[in-house]
Chains A and B, each alone.
Chain A
Amino acid sequence: MSNQHTDTDTGAKVRIVLAKLGLDGHDRGIKIVARILRDAGMEVIYLGLRQTTDSIVAAAEEEDADAIGLSMHNAGHLTLAPAMIEALRTADMDIPLIVGGIVPDMDVETLTDAGVAAVLGPGAPAEEVVAAVTQAVANSS
């Protein structure tokens, strides 16, 4: 068991809230990511389907999350990811948002410019997923 996936400030385990925002019901990917992160020693809080930006902000506050991960498969990412960033800003929460799923390469820069910390595409290996979360949390703390 390594301690590389802990919050750098406190040494505590990284806590990440995972959710599906909106109507998109594709949950194969996010469930796999949840298990990958859990197996890597993180605390994973999976909210499930049909979440709103408000419900995600509320859960992240309540769980004292270090990061939020959203999975998007329905080509709604250009609308939904910026909406999530906006909701976090409004709530004055400075934690990274990581987006995974079906995001065409040409949209990655748009999302990172909008404030998304990392974008994970289809076929991303487990190590890349874990590293992206760890890095995003380290950068924001």
Chain B
Amino acid sequence: METMVTGPAHDDSPSTNEARDQWQAAYDSSRLRDVPFETMSGVPLEPVHGAEPYPGQYPYTRGLFPAGYRSRLWTMRMFAGFGTAEDTNARFKELLRNGGTGLSTAFDMPTLMGRDSDSSWALGEVGHCGVAIDTVSDMRDLFAGIDLAKVSTSMTINGPAAILMAMYVAVAEETGVARADLAGTIQNDILKEYQAQKEYIYPPRPSMRIITDMVKFTTAEMPRWHPISISGYHIREAGSTAAQELAFTLANGFAYVEAALAAGENIDEFGRRLSFFFNSHSDFFEEIGKFRAARRIWARWMKERYGATDERAMMCRFHTQTAGVSLTAQQPEINIARVATQALAAAMGGTQSLHTDGFDEAMALPTEKAARIALRTQQIVAHETGVAAVADPLGGAPFVEWMTDEMERQAEEIFEHLEDLGNGSMLEGVYEAVENGYFVGEIADSAYRFEREVNAGRRIIVGVNAFAEGAEDDVQNLLRIGHETEDYQLKRLITVKQDRNDERVAAALARVTADAEDSNTNLMPGLIEAVTASATEEEIVMAMESVFGTYVERAIV
């Protein structure tokens, strides 16, 4: 190309750049928020600076939308869940009242692992790290009084995701909301469970079949639903580097794409419903480079390798959460500053939605106050800092462009390794790297390297290995989940089991098992029938486990 437009749009030289004209036309036809796009001192701001590709243009390095956040701010989606369904329902309503614009559900460990609250495995865990859901009755209480046609809901669950999605559909349809009108995301990213979060139930291949069924079902019947949120967040929390987070996550994404293609799905149809979830950690420019590289790599692979033609199927849409692992138990209030800079990086990186962590989360689930401060923190970034007025505000800065390239380069090296493992198939490469311990080994090595550097004092963590004075002020007002949650949940489960029709449950569970045995049958209709009959989560998990088996990780240090 002959000319690079590097100045603002009011540059005197006539624009001969086709990309620029194209962008301008797209910008002009974008709906904009009704706020002044000027600095706080009244200086008018151009919507974008720098060179092509402009925001909204392939490969989307500079963002997915021509007007950036001028059209629409990111969704402030605060993750919440604790205790009983009623407890979490109250927190949801509080967040919506306070200006939160999407719901995000945290489930407790037994629910995440497919166990009921009365399982021996659930001892000491009921309602602790999220809300306890055993049956569709709990799901009904969780969303009571919230119009499911009007909110978008994110559910962070993986191993038993299909069952929870079935419950959500069942509850919506009871209240007269059609499944086609449900908007939201279910995490459902099983591959990263074997790599980092470790909340798997079945082995990788049968798990992939369940996910493929969910992709098919939502593509056909739930057009506003994202059936997978391909997540690097947990990979990073487990200790990976930024580039490993980027590479492992996108490689998992490629694996899902290859699985869906093998199942005969159309890349443009399901591709536009895939979404991602990244961590925003403390190293500001590395994070921004990572976000920009993620969009570019995904677009290129989807288009060039997998043959997507619909632009929406090339777009890497992502949610971001600030780095829980960066929060310190020492002097916890200073975590508010960490969260603020991480939120700023996410905004400058162009995230579609954001959860900001509570300052007390190194010790417990956030109190209501901590969750409110966290939401306020991202509201300050959105409304006071001015970063939402100009798309990709750092684009074109040599350091930022270099960092973006460097993240991409490191990721491509990892892709090459995985492809070699899979003899050209990313799906097989990822399976192999799960089995041979590559992912867990790489993550553990990175985590240990970082820990040693902190321990040796080569890296400063404020309040931990430096500037430790003031720790006597540590807050002790933590959210505690008492025994009453467990007692209440157990009673509730007994009541549901007494009130249901046992024959109907048995028949529905038999159907789930039969569906699991036949890989040509989609599991979803049978699962919806089972949850509607008030079969418990664990009963349904076991009905499939009899066919799929279980996964046990080798213990590697």
Q: Taking beta carbons and an 8 Å cutoff, which residues of A are in contact with B? A: 22-25, 27-28, 31-32, 34-36, 38, 44, 46-50, 74-80, 83, 102, 104-106, 121-123, 125-126
Please report whether the interface of chain B is mostly helix, strand, loop or mixed according to DSSP.
loop
Chain A residue at minimal CB-CB distance from B329: A122
B478 at the interface (CB under 8 A from A): yes
Smallest CB–CB gap between B148 and chain A, Å? 29
Q: Which of B124, B125, B365, B448 is A32 in contact with, Cβ under 8 Å?
A: B448
Q: Are B128 and A75 in contact (CB under 8 A)?
A: yes
Q: Are A102 and B447 in contact (CB under 8 A)?
A: no
CA distance A126 to B122 in the complex (A): 32
Q: Taking beta carbons and an 8 Å cutoff, which residues of B are in contact with A? A: 109-110, 112-113, 115, 121-125, 128-129, 197-199, 237-239, 325, 328-330, 362-365, 444, 447-448, 451-452, 455, 461, 464-465, 474, 476, 478, 481, 552-555, 557
Q: Are A46 and B555 in contact (CB under 8 A)?
A: yes
Chain A residue at minimal CB-CB distance from B447: A28
CA distance A38 to B452 in the complex (A): 14
Q: Which of B197, B329, B330, B474 has the most CB of A within 10 A?
A: B329
Q: Are B110 and A23 in contact (CB under 8 A)?
A: yes
**Contacts of B239 on A, CB cut-off 8 Å?**
28
Q: Which of A31, A77, A83 is B557 in contact with, Cβ under 8 Å?
A: A31
Q: Are B121 and A23 in contact (CB under 8 A)?
A: yes
Q: Which of B121, B198, B554, B557 is A38 in contact with, Cβ under 8 Å?
A: B557
CA distance A79 to B128 in the complex (A): 12
Q: Are B198 and A31 in contact (CB under 8 A)?
A: no
CA distance A40 to B452 in the complex (A): 13
Q: Are A74 and B125 in contact (CB under 8 A)?
A: yes
Q: Are A78 and B198 in contact (CB under 8 A)?
A: no
Smallest CB–CB gap between A56 and chain B, Å? 12
Chain A residue at minimal CB-CB distance from B483: A79
Q: Are B129 and A74 in contact (CB under 8 A)?
A: yes
**Contacts of A34 on B, CB cut-off 8 Å?**
557
Q: Are A27 and B198 in contact (CB under 8 A)?
A: yes
Chain A residue at minimal CB-CB distance from B82: A75
CA distance A76 to B109 in the complex (A): 10
**Contacts of B198 on A, CB cut-off 8 Å?**
25, 27, 49
Q: Are A102 and B362 in contact (CB under 8 A)?
A: yes
Q: Are A121 and B444 in contact (CB under 8 A)?
A: no
Q: Are A28 and B330 in contact (CB under 8 A)?
A: no
Chain A residue at minimal CB-CB distance from B240: A28
- A25-B198, A31-B444 known; A123 and B555 CB under 8 Å? no
Q: Which of A49, A78, A123 has the most CB of B within 10 A?
A: A123
**Contacts of B199 on A, CB cut-off 8 Å?**
25
